Amino acid sequence: MAAALVWVVATLVFALLHLLPGDPVLVILGAEGGAQAPSPAQVAAVRHALGLDQALSTQYARWITRLARLDLGVSLDDATPVTRDILERLPTSLELICAAVAMALLGGIVLGVTAARFHGSWTDAALSGLLAGGLSFPVFVVGTLMLLVFGVLLRWFPVGAYVAFTEDPLGYLRQLTLPAVTLAFNLLGVVGRIARGSILEVLHQDYVRTARSKGLGEARVLSRHVLRTALIPIVTVVGVQFGILIGGTVLVEYIFNWPGISTLLFTAIQRRDYPMVQGIVLVTSALFILINLLVDLSYAVLDPRVRYEGRP
Amino acid sequence: MTSSAWRVILGACLVALPMIGLGVAGSHAAPPASIIFGLSSEPPNLDPALQSGTAAQTVKIQLYRGLFAYNAEGAVEKDLVGSYEQPAPTSYVFSLRPNSKFSDGSPLTSADVVFTFERIADPRVGAYLAKRMSAVESVTAVDLHTVKITLNAPDATFLQMLAAPTAAVVSKRFTLAHGNDLKTAALGAGPYRLTQWQRGIQLTVARNPYYYRQGRPKTPAIKFAFYPDENSRVAALESGTVDLIEYVPWQDIATILANPQFGYQGTNGPFMFLIFNLAQPPFNDVRVREAVGFAVNRAAIIRTAFFGRGSPIYSLPIPAASFAYDQGLAHYYTYDPAKAKRLLAEAGFGNGFTATLLSTAQYGMHKDTAEVVQQDLNALGNHITLSLPDWPTRVSLGSEGRYQFAVHGTAGDLNDPDFLSAYFHSGPLNYLVAPGYANPTLDQLLDQARATLDVSKRKALYNRIQKAALDDSAYIFLTWREQGYAYKKSLSGFRNLPGFLTFYSGYTLEETAPGK
C-alpha cells in the first residue's frame, strides 16, 4: 500500500516537473546573467552528459528503477547525491518546525484554556482577539517585522546567520528564536482557538459535572478531565499542520535564511534540478503520510474510548 | 502512555523556552580579523570556467587566478604572468611567475595553463569563454614556465578576456584527479583557499600561504553567507551580522547613503533593454521598433524599477568613458510619443498593434521595466499584454525565440565595445539575440574591429558599427542601472570596479581589511 502510494507520488512529481517549461542545461550554463550565451555545441554536450537528451520514458524508467533501490539519484547541478543533501537539510527544517510547534502548542493551550476558563469575560475577548490576530497575520509580515524590530533596531538576534547547535549552542538558540516564533505565531492562533472551542464543549459534558460534584478542585478538573479530551482535536490539527509545515516553511526559511529543506527545494525548482526536486517532494510526502499515521495512533493514547483492535 | 507522559512533554517545552530566551543574552561575535560577506545567492558551483552569477564569481575569484586580472581602476594587469611579449599580432609568449603555486603548495606550470585552455574549449565543460576562445589556434608549453598562444586572427580584446575570472588557471593534476569536475572541489592559485562549504549556510575561505603577492590578502579569512532575500541582506548589514553586501536593493541605497555607519559604492554597470523578434510582425518592421524606441519613457523606468538609481540610454549601451563613445550618436532616440505615433502610422499601425511582452516576475526590475513599457505603448493605442513566467521559463522561451518582444537585463563582459558582438553578430539563436536578425555588413565590421589593434582605427570602425546597429534597431536599449556594494564604514580597501566590470569587484577583496 505504502509502496504504491510512493510510486503514484513519484510518477506525478516526475510528470509535473517535466511538463514545467525551463531547461536545466541553460541554467547550468549560466543563464543567470551572462553577457555571452552558450553555444549549441555546449548545450548539446552538457545535455548529453546529464542524460537529458534521452527519451522521457527512458528517463522515467531510470528514475523509477533507481527509486526501487532507494536511490534518489544525483543533483544535475553538481552531481552530489540527492539523499545526502536531503539528510543534511531536513533535520534543520525539523528543528525549526519542532520548536515552532512546541511554542504554539504550549502557548496556544495556555491561552485557549485561560480564555475558556473565563468564558464571556474581557479576558476571553482579549485573548480571542490575539489568537485571531495570530491566525490572520501573513507569515511574511510577521517575519519581516520580527527581523526589523529584534534584528535591526534592537539587535537582540543575529540576522540569518545560521550556526549548528553542536558548534555554538547559544548562538544556535539565538538564531532559532525569530524564525521559530514567526512560524509559531500562525499555529498559535489555530491551536488557541481550537483549544478554547473544544474545552468549552467539554466543560459542558456530564462527566465534567460529575467530576466537579465529586468535589475535585477546578484545576484538577481542567487538567485531568477536560484538557485530556479536549486535546484530541488539537493533536489532529497539529499533526496536519506539522505535515504541511514540512516543505511549507518556504517563506520563513527564505526570510530568515534558514538552511532547511524548503530553501533547498526553492533553489532546486529555480534551477530545474529535476532529481533534487523529485527527491525532496518524495521524502516530504512520505513524512506527511507517516505523521498522519502517528496522529491516528495517538488518539488511542489520549482517549480511552478509541482503541484499535489487534489483528489475530 | 498516561497523563504523566504528557507532563514530561510539556515539561520539556517549559525547559526549552527559557533556554531560547537565555540565548538572547549570549554573544555571538565573529572570529577576529575576518570579513563576513553577505552574498545574494549561494554559488551553485565553484568551477571557475562556468559563469554562474555574480555571487559565485566573487567566491571563485578568491580561490582562482588567471594569467591576467583587473585592478581597482578596471585596468588589465599581469597576474600569474610575470612578463610577456607579443612577437606578432597573433601570437603571445607568456612567462609565468617562477614562484607561482597552487594553494596546496604544488607548483603551477605551463602544463596547467595548456590544460586550462583545453578544458575551456571542451564543450562538455560548458565553459563561459568557449565561444570567444575559439580564436585560439594553439596553446603550447615552451618550457616549464613559458606558454605560447597563437590566435587565428588578431584580437584586441584577448588580454581582457584572459583577465576575466572565467579564464582562471586550474591544476591539471587536481582537476583530473576529480574526474574533470570542479563543481564542489577547488584548487587554484587565488589569494584564498576553500576551508569549508556548508551547503545552504556558508562558505569560508582562508588565506592561501602560497599566494605570490607579499602581504596579501590583508584579511586572514572571509566568510560568505547567503542572503537571497534582499531585505534580509540589508537587515544583515544594518544589524551588524555581516560586514559587506552585494546587490544593494535600489530602494535602500538612499537610506544606506544617509547612514554614517556605512559606506557605499555604486556604478552604472548593467543595462536594461528590449529584444525584438524580427521573424514575425509587428516587429519585423523597423519603423515599429523605432516607434518603441521613441515611446518608452526611460525616466519612468529609472524611477519605478530603480528608485532613481540609474540613467537613461537613448542609443547603444556604450559607457561615456569608452573610447568608442560617440556624443553625436548618444541621443539617437528621445522620449517623443508623438513621433512614435507617426512612425506607427507609417508602418500601417495607425490604430495600434497587439503584442505580448515577455519578461519575468522573478526579478522586480524585469517586471517593473515591462510594466512601464506596456503602459507607454498602450498609451499610444496599442494593446500590449505581459507574460511573466519564472526566470528559467523566460530563458527557455528566449533561447527558442518563442516571443514577440522581451525585456532583458545584463552587462557586457569586457569593458570593450566588442561586447556588442554578442548582440549584433549573427549566429545561432540564443536568449540574448534578436530572432531573425542578421546583418552581414555588421558581421564583417565587428570582426574587423575585433581584429584591429590600433585604437583610433577601432574607434572609426565602432562609429560605423553603432550607426548600422541603430539603423536596424533590433534592440531598444533603455537604461543603465546602478550596481552597488555597501559595507561597514570601518572596512577598507574594497572597490566596486567601474562599469561592466562591477561583477568582478571580488578582485579587490585581497586588498580589503575589516578595520575595527
Instruction: List chain A residues with CB under 8 Å of B271.
Output: none
Q: Please state the rounded mean pLDDT for residues B423-447.
A: 95
B349 pLDDT higher than 50: yes
Cα A96 to Cα A180: distance, rounded to the nearest angstrom: 6
Query: For B236, which of A160, A264, A301 is closest by C-beta distance?
Result: A160
Give the confidence band of B516 by pLDDT, cuts at 50, 70, 90. Answer: low
Give the confidence band of A200 by pLDDT, cuts at 50, 70, 90. Answer: confident
Percent of chain B whose predicted confidence (pLDDT) is above 90? 88
- Chain A residue with Cα closest to B134: A39
Instruction: List chain A residues with CB under 8 Å of B432.
Output: 35-37
pLDDT value for A307 = 59
Query: For A102, which of B13, B123, B198 is closest by C-beta distance?
Result: B13
Q: Compute CA distances B244 → A133, B249, B504, whole Å.
A: 37, 13, 15
pLDDT value for A304 = 64
Backbone phi and psi for residue A21, each to the nearest 5 degrees, phi listed first: -70, 165
B17 pLDDT higher than 50: no
CA of B270 vs chain A CAs: smallest distance (Å): 10
A244 pLDDT higher than 90: no
- Roughly what angle, to the nearest 10 degrees, separates helices A274-302 and A56-68? 40
B104 pLDDT higher than 70: yes
Percent of chain A whose predicted confidence (pLDDT) is above 70? 95
B-facing residues of A in 105-134 (CB < 8 A) are 105-106
pLDDT value for B21 = 40
Question: Residue A94 has which C-alpha cell?
Answer: 525539523
Instruction: List chain B residues with CB under 8 Å of A270.
Output: 362, 390-392
B-facing residues of A in 33-52 (CB < 8 A) are 33-42, 44-46, 49
pLDDT value for B6 = 44
Query: For B131, which of A39, A45, A176 is closest by C-beta distance?
Result: A39
Query: For A177, which of B20, B225, B432 is closest by C-beta distance?
Result: B20
Q: Please state the rounded mean pLDDT for residues B197-220.
A: 94
Q: Does A21 touch chain B (CB under 8 A)?
A: yes
Instruction: List chain A residues with CB under 8 Å of B413.
Output: 34-36
CB contact under 8 A, B232 and A255: yes
Cα B403 to Cα B170: distance, rounded to the nearest angstrom: 40
Q: How are beta strands B354-358 and B405-410 bridged, if at all?
A: parallel
Q: Please state the rounded mean pLDDT for residues A231-246.
A: 81
Cα B388 to Cα A133: distance, rounded to the nearest angstrom: 33
Q: What are the DSSP calls for A63-130, one per residue?
A: HHHHHHTT---B-TTT--BHHHHHHHHHHHHHHHHHHHHHHHHHHHHHHHHHHHHTTTSHHHHHHHHH
Cα A255 to Cα A148: distance, rounded to the nearest angstrom: 11
CB contact under 8 A, B45 and A255: no
pLDDT value for A285 = 86
For the ranges A247-251, A278-282, B114-118, which has the lowest average pLDDT?
Answer: A247-251
Q: How many CB pairs under 8 A join A and B?
A: 226
Helix (H) or strand (E) holding B376, with range, is helix B364-378
B3 pLDDT higher than 70: no
B379 pLDDT higher than 50: yes
A310 pLDDT higher than 70: no
Encode pLDDT of B266-311 as tens digits.
999 899 999 999 999 999 999 999 999 999 999 999 999 999 999 9
CB contact under 8 A, A23 and B392: yes
Helix (H) or strand (E) holding B221, with range, is strand B221-226
Encode pLDDT of A86-141 as tens digits.
999 999 999 999 999 999 999 998 898 888 888 888 888 888 888 888 888 888 88
Cα B370 to Cα B365: distance, rounded to the nearest angstrom: 8
CB contact under 8 A, A36 and B24: no
Query: For A301, which of B1, B124, B241 is closest by C-beta distance?
Result: B1
B481 strand-pairing partners: B310
pLDDT value for B50 = 94
As a whole number, the mean pLDDT across chain B is 92
Cis ω before B165 (30° cut-off from 0): no
Strand, coil or helix: what is B329?
A: helix
Strand, coil or helix: what is B165?
A: helix
Give the confidence band of A32 by pLDDT, cuts at 50, 70, 90. Answer: low
Cα A200 to Cα A118: distance, rounded to the nearest angstrom: 10
Helix (H), strand (E) counts: chain A: 14, 0
CA of B231 vs chain A CAs: smallest distance (Å): 8
CB contact under 8 A, B24 and A156: yes
Query: For B239, which of A99, A158, A162 is closest by C-beta distance?
Result: A158
Instruction: List chain A residues with CB under 8 Å of B395.
Output: 22-23, 26-27, 31
Beta-strand runs (E) in B227-362: 244-245, 262-276, 310-312, 354-358
Cα B462 to Cα B448: distance, rounded to the nearest angstrom: 10
Residues 6+ apart with CB under 8 A from B206: B192, B193, B195, B220, B221
Q: Tell me the one-letter amino acid at B205.
A: V
Give the confidence band of B512 by pLDDT, cuts at 50, 70, 90. Answer: very high
A70 pLDDT higher than 60: yes
Share in percent of chain B as helix, strand, coil (round to 5):
35, 20, 40
B139 strand-pairing partners: B149
Query: For A155, which of B132, B227, B239 is closest by C-beta distance?
Result: B239
Query: For B126, which of A35, A46, A270 is closest by C-beta distance?
Result: A46
Higher pLDDT, B352 or B10: B352
Instruction: List chain B residues with CB under 8 Å of A268.
Output: none
CA of A279 vs chain B CAs: smallest distance (Å): 17
Cα A10 to Cα A286: distance, rounded to the nearest angstrom: 11
Instruction: List chain A residues with CB under 8 Å of B397.
Output: 21
Instruction: List chain B residues with CB under 8 Å of A174.
Output: 23-24, 26, 28
Q: Which of B45, B241, B271 should be substituted to probe chain A, the one whose Cβ sees the most A Cβ atoms within 10 Å?
A: B241
Higher pLDDT, A219 or A251: A251
Q: Please state the rounded mean pLDDT for residues B146-160.
A: 96
pLDDT value for A174 = 87
A2 pLDDT higher than 90: no
Strand, coil or helix: what is B149?
A: strand
Encode pLDDT of B212-232 as tens digits.
999 999 999 999 999 988 988
CB contact under 8 A, B432 and A36: yes
Encode pLDDT of B389-428 as tens digits.
999 999 999 999 999 999 999 988 888 999 999 999 999 9
pLDDT value for B2 = 43
pLDDT value for B305 = 96
pLDDT value for A159 = 81
pLDDT value for B9 = 44
- pTM of the entire predicted model: 0.88
8 A C-beta contact, residue B506 and residue B57: yes
Of B212, B98, B85, residue with least CA distance to B159: B85
Q: Compute CA distances B301 → A206, B296, B375, B410, whole Å.
A: 69, 9, 11, 16
Residues 6+ apart with CB under 8 A from A290: none
Q: Please state the rounded mean pLDDT for residues B59-73.
A: 97
For the ranges A189-203, B74-88, B191-205, B455-469, which has the lowest average pLDDT?
Answer: A189-203
Query: For B392, which of A41, A256, A272 is closest by C-beta distance?
Result: A272
For the ranges A77-86, B26-35, B127-136, B370-379, which has the lowest average pLDDT?
Answer: B26-35
pLDDT value for A305 = 66
8 A C-beta contact, residue A282 and residue A6: yes
CB contact under 8 A, A159 and B50: no
CB contact under 8 A, B410 and A271: no
Give the confidence band of A155 by pLDDT, cuts at 50, 70, 90. Answer: confident
